[in-house]
Amino acid sequence: MPSPHVITPAQLTRRIGLPDAPLILDVRTPQDAEADPRLLPGSIRMGHAEAAEAGAAWRGRQVVVACERGLKLSQGTAAWMRHHGAEAEALEGGFVAWRAEGLPLLSPTHIPMCDASGRTLWVTRARPKVDRIACPWLIRRFVDRQAVFLFVPPGDVLAVAESFGATPFDVEGVFWSHRGPLCTFDVMVEEFGLGIPALQHLARIVRGADTAAPELAPEAAGLLAASLGLSRMHRDDLAQLEAGMSLYDAFFRWCRDAMEETHNWPGRRAA
């Protein structure tokens, strides 16, 4: 009888990118990870013994454990984590099955090094509007859910990046910035290898809102209006970021699940 504590690649891919997505632990051996260093979006690389011992830290959390083929390492690690109180499942078929189904894999080439607490650190200009909220949303939902973002005066971005070991974005002259007609969000989707149709459609909307090109997508004007409204509602950039996370969650779900749905109110005519 198959284990009840498994999740299929198709089931997991529907949950990636959502605010309540499970924690994904990649416990492949160093040899397997070296052979294909790509990652499931939002996953954390960790040795199976380390993950098993750290299980108590995720008590009550939903966790998916992925090894190369979904066998002993993921099954054993998930079992240990359930012992510690986590709601842990193994990815059926493991990394190999995920890759064989052509599901998205995150390129690690340009993911910044983590700090001592295991978080990536980013810095950009203060008073964000579109790109500087969209990019943090993308990073937290698909790259590093613990990522930290610093918002500083424009002239201080590069100096803060150097002094604090942060990765600058959405400023001129850095890797993570506009390229030709593409905005920074476009660049991140491409460089991270996140060829998810919903993200690609969302990228057009973000580009239209961020580069004064509303003709790219009918929804761009609405995103711009909502973004400018949030920037005036919140004086604190981090408070604006938290509010903006829900905005981009909603746009992503619309791009993924609801683009064909319409709405009307066909009220009855009075007699």
Domain shared by 94 and 131, yes or no: no
CATH code for the domain of 32? 3.40.250.10
Count up the domains in the chain and report the number.
2
Rounded distance between C-alpha atoms, residue 134 and residue 211, angstroms: 13
pTM (two decimals): 0.94
3-state secondary structure of 231: helix
Q: Flag whether 110 is in a domain.
A: no
Q: Name the E strands within the chain.
A: 6-7, 23-26, 43-45, 62-66, 87-91, 121-125, 148-152, 167-168
Angle 98-93-120 (CA atoms, 0-180°, nearest 5)?
A: 50
What pLDDT is stored for residue 1 in this prediction? Answer: 45
Domain shared by 160 and 76, yes or no: no
What pLDDT is stored for residue 143 in this prediction? Answer: 97
Domain shared by 138 and 242, yes or no: yes
Domain that holds residue 67: 6-100
Domain shared by 86 and 184, yes or no: no
Tens-level pLDDT at each residue, the chain (271 residues): 456 799 999 999 999 999 999 999 999 999 999 999 999 999 999 999 888 888 788 899 999 999 999 999 999 999 999 999 999 999 999 999 999 999 999 999 999 999 988 899 999 999 999 999 999 999 999 999 999 999 999 999 999 999 999 999 999 999 999 999 999 999 999 999 998 999 999 999 999 999 999 999 999 999 999 999 999 999 999 999 999 999 999 999 999 999 898 888 776 655 5
**Spacing of C-alpha 159 from chain mean position:** 27
